[in-house]
Amino acid sequence: MSKLRQFRPCLLLILLLPALFLLAANSPAEEESRWEKWHPSGKSANFKIRQRPKTKILSGAKTTLLIAATSDLHGSLTSTRLLPRKRSRGLLHLVMPLKKLREKYPQLILLDAGDTIQGDPSSFYFSHVEPEPTKPLPVIEMMNWLKYDALTLGNHDFEPPTNILKQNIAQAQFSWLAANVSFRNAKQPLFPPYKIIERNGVRVGILGLITPGVPLWIDPEQRKGLNFKEMLETAKKWVKVLREQEKVDYLIGLFHSGDNTQYDSDVASTRELPHPNAAGMIADFLPEFDLIISGHAHRISPRRRTEKLKGHQTPLVSPGTAAEGLSTILLNFEEKSGNWEITETVYDFIKAEKVPEAQLLRKLEVRLLKVEKYLAEPTSVILKRFPKKTEFQDCGIALSFSAVESMEAETISLLPWWWFRGKLRFTDLGQALRREHFFRWLPYDNRPVLVLMYGRQIEIMLESYRRKKLGWYARSSTILTPGGFAAVLDNSSNSNRLYLKNPQGQALLPEKKYRVWLTNFHWNGGGGLAAKALLHPSQLLKKEALHLRELIFQYLQQSSVKLPEKCKSFLAQRTTVMNQ
């Protein structure tokens, strides 16, 4: 292959750039930030740095402190309702373990590392379908009952409507922390950076930090005016305050950020964003911390009782996701030279109880029944038989395109290939697909966006699809599938490039513009695809208000719905079956 041919794609994009920037002149005027003039209320209000005296410790004193933590709850209440699962999880399953711990350690500190209010159908329903201004979301109501002390905000907490997040901050009986989030050029963070708790004679400082990768995943209007700063430098600043001014005896980093620094770092670098997963880096390079609790990665560490943790200079624990259990850190202190010295630390992970706590479940009953009624709404399509994995994925891809195309003709799509199949119940056979099924299959709250794209940009965004076709590794969240056109491997050369063609067999031209449906996740920068394809904000044509999951559900509710051919082997319209 000649050098000219090797660099042709790059040259083409360079030639297209002036056209992209010319479109920017027609961009709509920006709306005012939803965070303008807002200040935290409730337990998160009135943050102030204090000059505290050193803790007075009696000579020879000993004490014990227990810290318990969850993370990435995603609204999870119980695995027995809404979307039942075999594995026990949800806050209602942690009630009894926490009760037993509090009986033995009344001064227990209970924390959460973020991604709290988005994910579960109950959170979705009371955020998007029937908001209740006088009540917090069920997950926050549960956390109030369980007497949480603090949480750190996570990226998904910015996903629901902004007024829902603000409302739940106000109605929570605990603090919401984020030291590295500021509004525009403000010197102080928008949220409280830390919380001070004194238990059993030990002054504990809890510093909250959120992943600065938020702009990669969250819609601009949800975070307009907010700056998400680099974690390590922010931590250094506040560690000095906590040690020298607040004079804490024990310092916890409560981070919504994974410990694998390399994960997503390449994606972030394309947008000139700091490391999204910096918890491990801080654990290695900032010894002023005594403990780091790391969320975001949905990882459990350690999984069993131990007195030593490996991997980082500072002990780092990860509590998993969806309240599948509870990380605990038991600390024994002894006075040495007027200071508290840790003599023993025991780390453990307590699994969720199999049965949810009955009394609190009854308190949530009215709200759960509303959500279950919503999930039980049927489509006009029935399940004839259980599909094979490939049948299920092919049908899901086809349905995604059919649903978006029904809104606007003469469009094509680049939508995610992943549909979480799970195991269908035997009782689903012969019955209508319900909204519940789509919450299982498409758990992410993604919305379709329509973008004016060049053919070459489409090919670039299909790179992971190409790799998958070749049998090579490709990260699942970056695999987009063609809808309304075909992408065929060109085996006539060593490049194995994709040949893009419309249903009539005509090629999609690199320099021609096409109207393409994406999800807001990939448009915002998730997976790094938008940056690689040099997508420009001026290329956005419109954003759909409905989530992709709901759009497909409503499409299948139509009595005259036209099922894609790839779905007809295991799905059928109810009217067709009734007439047979």
DSSP single-letter state for residue 537: G
Is residue 20 very low, low, confident or very high in pLDDT (cuts 50, 70, 90)? very low
Digit-coded pLDDT (tens) for 254-311: 999 999 888 888 888 888 888 899 999 999 999 999 999 999 999 999 999 999 998 8
DSSP 244-277: HTS--SEEEEEEES-S-TTTTHHHHHTTTPPPS-
Is residue 385 very low, low, confident or very high in pLDDT (cuts 50, 70, 90)? very high
Backbone torsions φ then ψ of 71, nearest 5 degrees: -160, 160
Mean pLDDT of 219-232: 94
Cα separation, 488 vs 501, in Å, equals 8
Residue 421: per-residue pLDDT? 81
Residue 24: per-residue pLDDT? 45
Cα separation, 132 vs 197, in Å, equals 31
Residue 30: per-residue pLDDT? 53
Nearest to 197 by CA among 68, 349, 335, 305: 68
Residues above pLDDT 90, as percent of the chain: 84
Q: Tokens at residue 519, please?
A: 């999800």
Digit-coded pLDDT (tens) for 22-69: 444 444 445 688 999 899 999 999 999 999 999 999 999 999 999 999
CA distances from 427 to 84, 385, 577 (A): 14, 11, 17
349 neighbors 326 (Cβ within 8 angstroms): yes
Residue 490: per-residue pLDDT? 83
- pLDDT of 11 strictly over 60: no
Give the mean pLDDT of the chain.
Answer: 91
307 neighbors 57 (Cβ within 8 angstroms): no
Is residue 6 very low, low, confident or very high in pLDDT (cuts 50, 70, 90)? very low
Backbone torsions φ then ψ of 18, nearest 5 degrees: -60, -35
Mean pLDDT of 72-98: 96
Cα separation, 149 vs 43, in Å, equals 10
Half-sphere exposure (Cβ direction) of 332: Cα atoms closer than 13 Å: 5
Cα separation, 279 vs 53, in Å, equals 30
Residue 491: per-residue pLDDT? 76
Between 49 and 577, the more confident residue is: 49
Residue 241: per-residue pLDDT? 97
Residue 492: per-residue pLDDT? 74
Digit-coded pLDDT (tens) for 176-219: 999 999 999 888 999 999 999 999 999 999 999 999 999 999 99
**CA 533 from chain center: how many Å?**
24
Residue 31: per-residue pLDDT? 67
Residue 576: per-residue pLDDT? 55
Backbone torsions φ then ψ of 128, nearest 5 degrees: -115, -30
Mean pLDDT of 130-147: 97
- pLDDT of 496 strictly over 50: yes
Nearest to 148 by CA among 98, 78, 204: 98
**CA 181 from chain center: how many Å?**
17
68 neighbors 98 (Cβ within 8 angstroms): yes
Is residue 4 very low, low, confident or very high in pLDDT (cuts 50, 70, 90)? very low
Residues above pLDDT 70, as percent of the chain: 93
- pLDDT of 539 strictly over 50: yes
Q: Tokens at residue 525, please?
A: 């920068």
Nearest to 206 by CA among 109, 350, 278, 107: 109
Digit-coded pLDDT (tens) for 397-418: 999 999 999 999 999 999 998 8
Residue 291: per-residue pLDDT? 97
Instruction: Note the pTM of the prediction, 2 decimals.
Output: 0.90
Is residue 424 very low, low, confident or very high in pLDDT (cuts 50, 70, 90)? confident
Cα separation, 399 vs 555, in Å, equals 9
Cα separation, 99 vs 115, in Å, equals 24
SS3 of 66, please?
strand
Mean pLDDT of 503-519: 95
Is residue 431 very low, low, confident or very high in pLDDT (cuts 50, 70, 90)? very high
| Other beta carbons less than 10 A from residue 463's beta carbon | 17
Gyration radius of the chain's alpha carbons: 26
260 neighbors 521 (Cβ within 8 angstroms): no
